[in-house]
Structure 1
Amino acid sequence: MLNLPEKHFCRIGSILDRVVVVAGLRERKKQHTRLALSWAAIRLVVERGLDGARIEDIADEAGVSVRTFRNYFPTKADAIAYRHKERTLRIAAALRDRPAGEPLWEALSQAVLARFALDAADAGGRGPDAEWTAGVRIMVAEPALQGALRRADAAAADALAAAVAERTGTDRDALYPRLVAAAVGAAVGVASEQWLRSDPPRPLGPLLAEALDLLSSGLEPPSSREDA
């Protein structure tokens, strides 16, 4: 065993700390680039359609090269689907940060609603907009996107199930955490569909809150809820 002076251990520790900081900064930069590309892909595809939004345009919109785009995403579809996956990863992380004694469904609702509120801010505070929602409706119906969206859904469900399992002391592959994750995913999907089809347009936040409240109450029929 090496018998190094204490000053050498301090120097090694300092170097390791700097390596960790640099690695963390590099990963944050990569994440920023992924999100910028994903948002750019969504914006341009909503505005121009899937065929009309070239990879060159998406890269330019995000301020990077086409080569950088291809380093992060193999296709436009993968860039678009990444936003959903990343959002659920953030929801899972937020769930882990909620107070330990908070009931599960309250913690889940707070994590989901907080993440979507931040998404709205990231999108420039875009409120209900008939032209935008019509474009999103067309985008998500694109057959060429379905495979990437399904892969993103699967990764999102797995991440959320893992967070639920940690909070409830169960195995991530057990029925309960996977069922909860699937239910939350369904609530988000149905609320988003309602948002896209509402005429006049409605804000997404209240629809999400209502959907999650219905889940937490055991999906009681509307008449039962009114009588309570």
Structure 2
Amino acid sequence: MTTTGLRERKKADTRAALADAVLRLAEERGFDHVTVEDVATAAGVSYRTFFNHFASKEEALLQPDRGPRLVDLLAEQGPDVPLLTALRAALHACLDRLQADGDTWRRVFAVVIATPSLLPRLVETGSADERELALAVAARTGLDAEADLHPGLVAAVVSTVLRVSLWRWHSAGATASLHGLLDEALDAVVDGLPTPTPRRGTP
């Protein structure tokens, strides 16, 4: 491995150690009672090193490079593939990689649910990802992400479908099929969100 490759591997290992430390400490103490100093010490690095990798403990928990970027997975789909087909394939590829580390994501969701202070940061992160996806959709369709409705609307719907599918998966104890939950949500959107038949016993 080259010197550059070793340096990048060491950087990735340090980021992973910091992400693992903040998650473990948040589970033990509650996220609001964990400091950056605590995380750096637990990961065996200096306070300064922490900020070489993350801007905050919130970023270390929510954006630690654990998951794939949906826009990159969309870019892997051929340019002639219809947009919704390409998005569905990209979402499934995203879930494949997320499910490979499903236990970690289940733990992250549990920390977020228990920590109201994380919700604004989660919304901020989701908005940035949604904007990035809107630009990718615009590029794929030849539209303008600023002037045209379609890219932003598609990105918002896809983001919501993914978020709802993940939360349903977590609520089911991470035992349900993520792919099944995703397809159920996508199909409902494509069908125009028909009113479902109430569950038995539901008014």
TM band (smaller chain): 0.7 to 0.9
Gaps of 5+ in 1: 1-17, 224-228
Aligned to 1:41: 22
Aligned to 1:116: 95
- SS of the residue corresponding to residue 126 of structure 1 reads helix
* Paired-residue identity, %: 38
The answer to whether the aligner puts 1:156 opposite 2:133 as a matched pair is no
Deviations 1:33-65 (A, max 9, x none): 445533543344245421454434533555543
- SS of the residue corresponding to residue 31 of structure 2 reads coil
Q: 86, 90, 98: which one pairs with 2:77? A: 98
Q: 188, 191, 194: which one pairs with 1:217? A: 191
Give the Cα separation in 2 of the matches to 1:25 and 1:160.
32
Give the Cα separation in 1 of the matches to 2:145 and 2:79.
18
Give the Cα separation in 1 of the matches to 2:189 and 2:7.
39
Give the Cα separation in 2 of the matches to 1:202 and 1:112.
17
Aligned to 1:192: 166
In structure 2, relative to structure 1, the CA distance for the partners of 1:117 and 1:52 (3 Å cut) is: farther
TM-score (norm 2): 0.75
Question: Does the Cα contact within 8 Å between 1:77 and 1:144 map onto a contact in 2?
Answer: no
Q: 54, 58, 63: which one pairs with 1:82? A: 63
Q: More helix per residue: 1 or 2?
A: 1
Q: 137, 142, 145: which one pairs with 2:110? A: 137
Give the Cα separation in 2 of the matches to 1:37 and 1:205.
30
Give the Cα separation in 2 of the matches to 1:162 and 1:59.
36
Q: Aligned pair count?
A: 195
Q: Relative contact order: is structure 1 or structure 2 higher (C-alpha 8 Å, sep ≥ 6)?
A: 1
In structure 2, relative to structure 1, the CA distance for the partners of 1:114 and 1:43 (3 Å cut) is: farther
What residue identity is the alignment partner of 2:97?
A: L
In structure 2, relative to structure 1, the CA distance for the partners of 1:183 and 1:87 (3 Å cut) is: farther
Once the two structures are overlaid, the 10-residue window that deviates more, 205-214 or 181-190, is 205-214
Aligned to 2:155: 181
Give the Cα separation in 2 of the matches to 1:63 and 1:100.
45
TM-score (norm 1): 0.68
Bigger radius of gyration among the two: 1
Give the Cα separation in 1 of the matches to 2:42 and 2:91.
28
Give the Cα separation in 2 of the matches to 1:39 and 1:104.
36
Question: Does the Cα contact within 8 Å between 2:67 and 2:97 map onto a contact in 1?
Answer: no
Aligned to 1:68: 49
Once the two structures are overlaid, the 10-residue window that deviates more, 35-44 or 142-151, is 35-44
